[in-house]
Amino acid sequence: MKSPYPIVGVVAVGCAFLVGLQLSGYFAPAAVAKFIASSAFVTLAVRQGALDSWYGRLILSGLCLSWCGDLLLVGRSETFFLAGLVAFLLAHVAYSVAFVRHGVGRVALVATAVPIAVVALLVWSWLEPQTPADLSLPVRAYIAVISLMVIFAYGTRGVGGSWWIPAGASLFFLSDLSVAALRLAGTDYPTYALGLPAYYAAQVCLALSVSQSRSH
């Protein structure tokens, strides 16, 4: 298997340019940087053997859906935001199915479910007053699905799953909070400066996890 580090480096450099260009207001070049960084994490999964197992193929499906979501979120309208939300929602479903396919431990699931459910309720109580009525149901569904994804991710540790899996899921959860803060809560702070590195780190972790789960 070829070393993952060159492609991980492409993701890191692309993400750095993406953040820097967005902070500087150069949105068209930033979109190019996003395309490069996102295409790189899909390539990384393939090179790590994603096509050799059901787990890998499901993770690859989630990465490809995330790639679509990334491009859709380049748009500034509510329509593009909603379409991107659906793409990422489906990506989280694909990841959840991958984790269940991998195998999960009941004790690990129960131990994770309670704190994650509390966090999910707190997130919704924060977002609800600022969420448009037509986005209320999609946002609630999104919070539920990503919370389940994180629970299943930690559940894989109960059967010896790689730490890449819960690390990727947790970072993805944090990156989604940054998007919610920017698009829904309307914070003045450019949360993507932290959220985008967390997002790309999450995708890299999940892509790397396929090399250690090729028997599933």
Q: What is the dihedral of CA 209, 17, 194, 152, to 10 degrees?
A: -20
| Tens of pLDDT, residues 121-166 | 998 888 888 888 877 888 888 889 999 999 999 999 999 999 999 9
Q: How confident is the model at residue 12 (pLDDT cuts 50, 70, 90)?
A: very high
**pLDDT tier at 48, thresholds 50, 70, 90:** very high
Whole-angstrom distance, CA of residue 51 vs CA of residue 55: 9
**Mean pLDDT, the chain, as a whole number?**
90
CA angle, 149 as apex, 80 and 175 as ends, to 5°? 50
pLDDT of 115 strictly over 80? yes
Q: Which residues contact 96 (CB under 8 A, 6 or more apart)?
A: 145, 148, 149, 152
Q: Does the pLDDT value for residue 46 go beyond 70?
A: yes
Whether this model's pTM surpasses 0.75: yes
Residue range 164-208, pLDDT digits in tens? 999 999 999 999 888 777 667 666 677 788 999 999 999 999 999
d(CA 202, CA 15): 12
Rg, C-alpha atoms of the chain = 17
pLDDT at 216: 66
| 186 burial via Cβ count (<10 Å: 0-12, 13-18, 19+) | exposed
